[in-house]
Amino acid sequence: MRSGAIAIGNFDGVHWGHARIVERLLAKARAVEGPAVVFTFDPHPVRLLRPAEAPPPLTWTDRKAELLAALGVDAVVAYPTDEALLQLDAQEFFDRIVRGELDARAMVEGPNFYFGRGRGGTIEVLHRLAAAAGIQLEIVDPLVIDGEIVSSSRVRQLLVAGKVGEARQLLTRPYRLRGMVTHGAARGGRIGFPTANLAAIDTLLPGLGVYAGRAWHKGRSWPAAINVGPNPTFGEQALKLEVHLIDFAGALYGEPLEVDFLARLRDIQPFAGVEALKEQLRRDVAAAKKVADDARD
């Protein structure tokens, strides 16, 4: 979509700070009578420039587009990041992308926006280029919650610490990851708590612990108890993500599954035996179901 208002950035996680930018983007789009467009990158440029420093993403591209659409954005452009794009200097990026590809009539950005090779395109440079091109530009102040700026880095830190409830307060939707269901040891099924073991996870894995959440498969959802970590009761040390879909019946092997993290229930811990483990799992499932049901109200 062309000739509207654009916001350029990574929008990783789509948190409330991003929502503030989108709110102003929608207002600018109405003012110029054009579409509201978010231009993002796939993959994040740092994954090509400094792969060792690239943090795991919080959202995959389709999920990001879904979350932005829910905020009212008309279109999301996930531009393929390659060496040619990264070699554009600020003027070239502005001419090729902002004016050429998008024909922008207005722009909305945060105060820490940079563009072009070597991050040479500062906010000051953008002001100059936009003014010369007759493009309206608005810089949105960062959002502060509990005394700290809301950012993807802050969300990531909370998730790594297992604080999914606090991260949830910063995100426009609960934190979600996806994976493919693979065969595990099948111990859960034998003790009455079958789990879906997820592999090929392409976003950040929260810290070790047992969580309450909601699992999504083919447009339907179930309350879920989620285990991130090893299974010390059976002497296993391998890191796994296991999801028990509450009140679900059926097989999911080889199927994609998406999981929302709503609250952390407890630490990973060993139990004296199978019966002690089963009793704890019953408590976990009851607690997870209550959290998931309350989250829907």
Give the model's pLDDT for residue 189.
Answer: 57
Mean of per-residue pLDDT scores for the chain? 93
Break the chain into its structural domains and give their ranges.
5-149, 174-296
222 beta partners = 215
pTM flag (> 0.85): yes
Architecture of domain 5-149: 3-Layer(aba) Sandwich (3.40)
Q: Using CA atoms, how far apart are residues 65 and 78, in angstroms rounded to an integer?
A: 9
Question: What mean pLDDT is predicted for residues 226-239?
Answer: 78
SS3 assignment, position 224:
strand
Give the model's pLDDT for residue 257.
Answer: 98
Architecture of domain 174-296: Beta Barrel (2.40)
| Residue 286 tokens, joined | 């009851």
Give the model's pLDDT for residue 185.
Answer: 63
Residue 21 has pLDDT above 90, yes or no: yes
| 136-150 confidence digits (pLDDT tens) | 999 999 999 999 999
DSSP string over 63-117 = HHHHHHHHTT-SEEEEEEP-HHHHT--HHHHIIIIIIIIS--SEEEE-TT--BSG
Give the model's pLDDT for residue 297.
Answer: 60
Angle at the Cα of 238 (from 168 to 233), degrees rounded to 5?
90
Q: Using CA atoms, how far apart are residues 175 and 158, in angstroms rounded to an integer?
A: 11
Give the model's pLDDT for residue 210.
Answer: 97
Question: What mean pLDDT is predicted for residues 249-257?
Answer: 93
Question: What mean pLDDT is predicted for residues 259-269?
Answer: 96
Instruction: Give 262's pLDDT tier (boundaries 50, 70, 90).
Output: very high
| 159-205 confidence digits (pLDDT tens) | 999 999 999 999 999 999 999 999 876 565 567 789 999 999 999 99
Q: Is the peptide bond before 232 cis (omega within 30 degrees of 0)?
A: no
Q: Using CA atoms, how far apart are residues 145 and 205, in angstroms rounded to an integer?
A: 24
Contact indicator for 38, 76 with CB cutoff of 8 Å: yes
Instruction: Give 217's pLDDT tier (boundaries 50, 70, 90).
Output: very high
Give the model's pLDDT for residue 233.
Answer: 63
User: Nearest-CA neighbor of 213 among 201, 221, 204?
Assistant: 221
Q: CB-based contacts of 100: which residues, under 8 Å, 6+ apart? A: none
| 89-103 confidence digits (pLDDT tens) | 999 999 999 999 999
Question: What mean pLDDT is predicted for residues 209-230?
Answer: 96
Q: Using CA atoms, how far apart are residues 268 and 237, in angstroms rounded to an integer?
A: 11
Give the model's pLDDT for residue 88.
Answer: 95
% of the chain residues with pLDDT over 90:
81
105, amino acid identity: R
Residue 260 has pLDDT above 80, yes or no: yes
